[in-house]
Structure formats: C-alpha cells, structure tokens
Amino acid sequence: MIVGPRVAAASPTARSMMLKALEMERKGATPLQTWKKTLWWRGEDGVMRFELDDSNAVFHVSNKIGPPPRIIGGVGWEAPGPDVEDMIVNWRGPLIEVLRSHPALYNTYPELIHLPVGIGYHDFPAGITDTVRAVPTNRKAPFIATGIRAFGPTEGVVEATVMHELSHVIQMKEGMDWGGNTSYRSQLIGGIGRRLERLSALLREAKDDESIYSLGERIRSLNKTLGEVTELTPRLLYRSILGEQEARLTQRSYSAGLNAIERTRRFPPESRDSPVTTVVGMYR
C-alpha cells in the first residue's frame, strides 16, 4: 500500500527516513536515489511516498460475497457492461470486519477501521470509492471518501479490489492524485479550456515583461497538455492517471503476496503498468 507523510507521524523510524529523503532532495537527489537509501520518494504530484508491507494483512470475506446473481451482465471495468454503481452489494459493514488486521495501516490511519464497505459478487473485479465534496472546498483534497465497494468472483479477487479502493481513500487523505474513471476526459478538457481562458485574460492585462513571459509559458504548457489529452481515449486516459496506476500496483503486489523484502527489490514507479499522467489530478 502506497501511503504518504502521515506514516511519518505514526512511526519514528519512517519519520527519520523521510527527513533523510528530504535532505537528499535538497542536495539534488532523484526520487530513485532517495528511495534506494530511505524507501521514500516524491511522486509526480509532489507528495512524498512510502510503501507499506501488505503481506501481513488478514482478511475475512467468506460468506460476504454472496452467490452469483441469476443474471450476470457485463464485466465491470475491463469491457462494456453495467456501471459499477448498479452492481448488487451482498454485505455491508465497517472495514474492520473485512480487513481484520493490518497493524501498519491502522496505526497510521486509525479512522479506516470504521470505513463503510460493501461487498458483492461479480464475474470480473470491479470497485468504487464513494466520495462527497469537501466543505469548505480544499484545493488539495476537494473530495473525501465516505466508503468503498468491491466486487469479484472469489475471495482473493475481492480482497485485492478492497486494497485497490483503499489506495484511493489514502490518496485523498494525503492530498495525492487519487484516480478517476472514464468519464473524466470530457470534464478534464473543459477544465483545461476554462483555465486557458482565465490565463489569456490575465495575459491581455499584464504590463510587465516578467508577468507576460510567465503567463505565456503557462498557456503554452496547458495547450500542450490539452493536445495530449485530446489524443487519448477515455479508457487510456483513465488507466494513465497516477492514482489509478498506484492503486493497481498495490492490488498486484497484494495478489502476488510480496513481503517487505521483496518490495525493496523494485522501485514502485518503475513497476507501474503504463505511462503516467497527472493531468486529471491537476485540473479536475
């Protein structure tokens, strides 16, 4: 599970290593170099990261998935089918009744014990993190997680899907890029367009050379981003979001049973399954 600076507040050892990583950064170290020495690295969204060992997580999902529904339609995220919102939840309760033990996770985020969880059967893995808009709006974390839902055909698949959705909950708590879905492409294009309009208005009013240059550079960068986003299909954009990449990495690492030692043998950013973009997190 990829977590953020809150783990440094819960663990003196983690705090010491994070401070060492920050000092290395000030001297010019790259994320790979800080990770090799401290297991901390800075993500593309600017937030420091650390990977918790999930191999000691104890799940209890037996009798919670339920029998297959009489009619199973679609296959969740991986192909056309019913929206995950329409999938049948067979069991609801607090996370602690599903994830019975995960000391490092619960020590860092004790409030997760009470996080509402819904579980149901589906012939392919699918999940969703329920959210509400934060009030007052926080630019760093404008949404908060209110629960998760996980679906799959077996206990192991549901467990891994729970880990995926928990990743998104933590991303929101830590102010990381937290992922999205295939509908964000049109919202993203609209958001970038509105930002360009505001910057262009500021540029027309700018008087000094420094402001003109700075605004011009921002506009050029945004136009480049807009072109890149326009070329991506909704599916490809969704899969390339940093938060989705890291949630899938957590899911795969849990399913593979990687322990603490095995996790130190690969740099997490180099283990992601496709190129990353942070534009959704930046402009949503």
Which residues, at least 6 apart from 1, have a Cβ–Cβ distance to it below 8 Å?
A: 51, 52, 54, 105, 163, 166, 167, 170, 250
pTM of the model: 0.84
Task: Identify the pLDDT of residue 71.
Answer: 45
pLDDT in single tens digits along all 284 residues of the chain: 999 999 999 999 999 999 999 999 999 999 999 999 999 999 988 999 999 999 999 999 988 887 765 444 444 333 344 567 678 899 999 999 999 999 999 999 999 999 999 999 988 889 999 988 776 655 566 778 899 999 999 999 999 999 999 999 999 999 998 888 777 788 788 888 998 999 999 999 998 999 999 999 999 988 988 888 888 888 888 888 889 999 999 999 999 999 999 999 999 999 998 777 665 655 55
